[in-house]
Every structure is written in structure tokens, then in C-alpha cells.
């Protein structure tokens, strides 16, 4: 019910206050009634729910999350390959840096 779809804005019609968005190759229309005027721009990533844009996706925050995941994978892989007795303190520190 509450599931929503990340989409990219491809067109904005200010007269009808509607956006056209691309959802992984599928084009849909979405109402901008829940967004402040001028807040949504072409090229923005937005979250779509039952025919409305409900918010913009913060690209910077998304990138930070994805970078964190890369580091977590590296740390956990390193921990696996290291000698257990030597690795625990170091990795704990590393992890805290990441988190």
C-alpha cells in the first residue's frame, strides 16, 4: 500500500501542475499538488505514490549511503581475510569511522 517508486522527471506542465516521469523505461504522469511551486525540476529524482510526487530524492544523501555500503563491504571482506586474533580491534575502529 505504501510502496512508492523512484522516478526521474522528464517534463513539467506548469499549467496542469503535472510532471511526466520515467520509471525505469515506463513513462507516467504525476500530480505536483503536494510539492511547493517550482520545487521539482526536470532531471530531479522523485518518489511517486498513487499518481502524485510525494518528495524529491536527495541525491547527495543517496550517494553517501552508497559510498558507505562500499566501505562496509570492504571492511567486512578485510575482516574475513585477516587473522581473527589480529583483526578485531582494527576493524572495530574502521567500522566506527564509517558509521
Partner 1 sequence: MEIELKNLYDDFRDADTIKAYAKMIKEDAKKLENPINIMEVCGGHTHTIMKYGIPQLMPENINFIHGPGCPVCIMPKERIDHAYVLSMQKNVILVTLGDMIKVPGSNGSLQDARAKGADVRFVYSPLDCIKIAKENPTKKVIFFAIGFETTTPMTAALINTVIKQDIKNVLLHINHVTVPEVMKELIDSRDIHVDSYNNQIDAFLGPSHVSVISGSKIYEEFPRDYNRPVVVSGFEPVDVMQAISMLIKQFIENRCELEVEYNRLVSYDGNIKAQELIEKYFEKTDLFKWRGLGNIEKSGLKLKSQYAQYDAEVAYKDILPIEEIEDHKLCICGDILRGIASPPECTIFGTACKPTKPIGSCMVSSEGACAAYYKYGNLLKK
Which position among 1, 14, 89, 97 is part of the footprint of partner 1 (CB under 8 A)? Answer: 1
DSSP structure string for 2-54:
---EEEEEEEEETTTTEEEEEETTEEEEEE-TTS-TT---TT-EEEEETTEEE
Contact 75, 94 (CB under 8 A): yes
12 binds partner 1 (CB under 8 A): no
**Alpha-carbon span 7 to 9, nearest angstrom:** 7
Which position among 22, 27, 41, 82 is part of the footprint of partner 1 (CB under 8 A)? Answer: 22
Rg (CA), the chain: 20
Window 25-84: residues binding partner 1 (CB under 8 A): 31, 33-36, 45, 47, 49-52, 54-55, 57-59, 61-63, 65-66, 69, 72-73, 75-77, 79-80
Residues that bind partner 1 (CB under 8 A): 1-4, 6-8, 22, 24, 31, 33-36, 45, 47, 49-52, 54-55, 57-59, 61-63, 65-66, 69, 72-73, 75-77, 79-80, 95, 99
Amino acid at each position: 500500500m505504501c510502496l512508492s517508486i523512484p522516478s526521474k522527471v522528464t517534463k513539467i506542465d506548469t499549467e496542469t501542475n503535472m510532471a511526466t516521469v520515467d520509471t525505469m523505461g515506463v513513462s507516467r504522469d504525476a500530480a505536483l499538488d503536494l510539492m511547493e511551486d517550482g520545487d521539482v525540476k526536470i532531471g530531479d529524482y522523485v518518489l511517486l505514490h498513487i499518481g502524485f510526487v510525494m518528495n524529491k530524492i536527495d541525491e547527495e544523501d543517496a550517494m553517501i549511503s552508497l559510498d558507505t555500503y562500499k566501505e562496509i563491504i570492504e571492511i567486512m571482506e578485510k575482516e574475513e581475510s585477516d587473522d581473527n586474533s589480529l583483526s578485531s580491534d582494527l576493524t572495530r575502529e574502521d567500522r566506527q569511522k564509517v558509521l
